[in-house]
Structure 1
Amino acid sequence: GKRQLQNQLVIGARNMFIQTQDTPNPNSLKFLPGVKVLDERQTMDFPNSSDAYCSPLAKLLFRIEGVKSVFFGPDFITVTKVDEEMDWKLIKPEIFATIMDFFSSGLPVLNDVKPNADTEINEDDDETVRMIKELLDTRIRPTVQEDGGDVVFMGFSDGIVKLKLQGSCTNCPSSVVTLKKGIQNMMQFYIPEVM
């Protein structure tokens, strides 16, 4: 199964084994390089090339024609292509080569920027916000990251939780609806303050 494959990964300049996984969005593909991309639980979103200034890897990926957005998770890179017309067969080899060259270069994935870890609990979070963040971290983000995206906590007021979807989740209508419903139901179930 998948587990076994993971254990056979050998990292070397040229024999890196990158796996791909489909996401709910046909225009987004998840690349698993078999090495750490970011720290555990961290993600970073690059909706367009101007956001990539802080990441040498994202910059390189945006140079590939047909790449619309890039998203990093702890152990994956989600690449979203411009549209259905653009065939994965055309850009996948370039993405593979770029990821391989980058990881064998030893450059940092990010230059001094804090990735999304906004579910870290702060001193001044009240009980409800703490519970929301904990729920996001333990139940919701892992599922969404599995699909090549992430959910960012933007705030909580008047019974409404503000979240931002990133990565493969931003453009697929089906997942956004099911995701919102699922998150809402789970939040309401565990946290009565959430409307």
Structure 2
Amino acid sequence: MPKIADIEDTPNPNAKKFVLREPLTWGIAHSYESAEQAQGDSLASALFAIAHVTNVFYVDRWLTVTQDGQADWEPLLREIAPPLRATPAASDQSAAAVFAARATVADLSPEDRQRLDDIELVLDQEIRPYLQSDGGDLHVLSLAGNQLVVHYQGACGTCPSAISGTLQGIESRLRTLEPDIEVIAA
């Protein structure tokens, strides 16, 4: 059962990040924007059963919960803690299982696959650590021509700065690799 090490504010005032002592997963992100999406995930379903919860995102040793902005955080945190503590910690998973579960962008030419690998390397090394430290992340949905479509997860999903400033910063950094790239949030 994961023990909560800390609860952190995020740049999104409607999201809190729970830092855990034990992992919930080993590298596999779980992101849900509704109770319907969370069906089959007992932790996320239990969290969506709490009034005002609008988004659940977790990976490894942290979980981010976003609310609709209508609830006071103190009582909401007290409701979130029991289902989180009741969830079993991640069991040992093989590297092959984790690798197989990661989503990849399909149907790319070898040249576009190399472009995407280069982009993902920059995202992994320079962008995702900052997003994750704030309780969020991003997932690449597609690369078509000069358009890279990303989807924000966790606290970043509804954060005003993610849609404007952060997206522009990501695009600016990626333009050092590809001057004509356009980054779009979906």
- TM-score band, normalised by shorter chain: 0.7 to 0.9
Q: Tell me the CA shift for residue 186 of structure 1.
A: 0.7
Of the three residues 58, 80, 83, the one matched with 1:98 is 83
The runs of at least 4 aligned residues of structure 1 exceeding 2 Å deviation read: 15-18, 112-120, 122-127, 190-195
TM-score under structure 2 length normalisation: 0.81
Aligned to 1:189: 176
Q: Number of residues paired by the alignment?
A: 175
Of the three residues 143, 151, 162, the one matched with 1:156 is 143
| Cα distance change on mapping 1:51 and 1:164 into 2, 3 Å | same
Tell me if the contact between 1:21 and 1:31 (Cα under 8 Å) persists in the aligned partners: yes
Aligned to 1:55: 41
Structure 1 CA distance, aligned partners of 2:88 and 2:113? 41
Q: Report the residue type matching 2:86 in the other structure.
A: D
Of the three residues 80, 92, 115, the one matched with 2:66 is 80
Tell me if the contact between 2:136 and 2:155 (Cα under 8 Å) persists in the aligned partners: yes
Q: Tell me the CA shift for residue 71 of structure 1.
A: 0.8
| Cα distance change on mapping 1:116 and 1:31 into 2, 3 Å | farther
- Structure number with the higher strand fraction is 2
- Superposed CA RMSD in Å reads 2.9
Q: Report the residue type matching 2:148 in the other structure.
A: V
Q: Does 1:25 align with 2:7?
A: no
User: Map of 1:35-184 to 2, 5 A cutoff?
Assistant: 35-40=22-27, 42-83=28-69, 85-103=70-88, 117-118=103-104, 124=110, 125-184=112-171
TM-score under structure 1 length normalisation: 0.77
Tell me if the contact between 2:56 and 2:64 (Cα under 8 Å) persists in the aligned partners: yes
Point out where structure 1 has 5 or more consecutive residues left out of the alignment. 1-12
Question: What does the per-residue CA deviation read over 1:35-82, in whole Å, with 9 as the maximum and x for residues that have no partner?
Answer: 112223x32211000011131111111111221111112221110112
SS in 1 for 2:39: helix
Tell me if the contact between 1:18 and 1:96 (Cα under 8 Å) persists in the aligned partners: no
Which segment drifts farther, 156-165 or 123-132?
123-132
| Cα distance change on mapping 1:107 and 1:127 into 2, 3 Å | closer
SS in 1 for 2:12: coil
Structure 2 CA distance, aligned partners of 1:86 and 1:187? 38
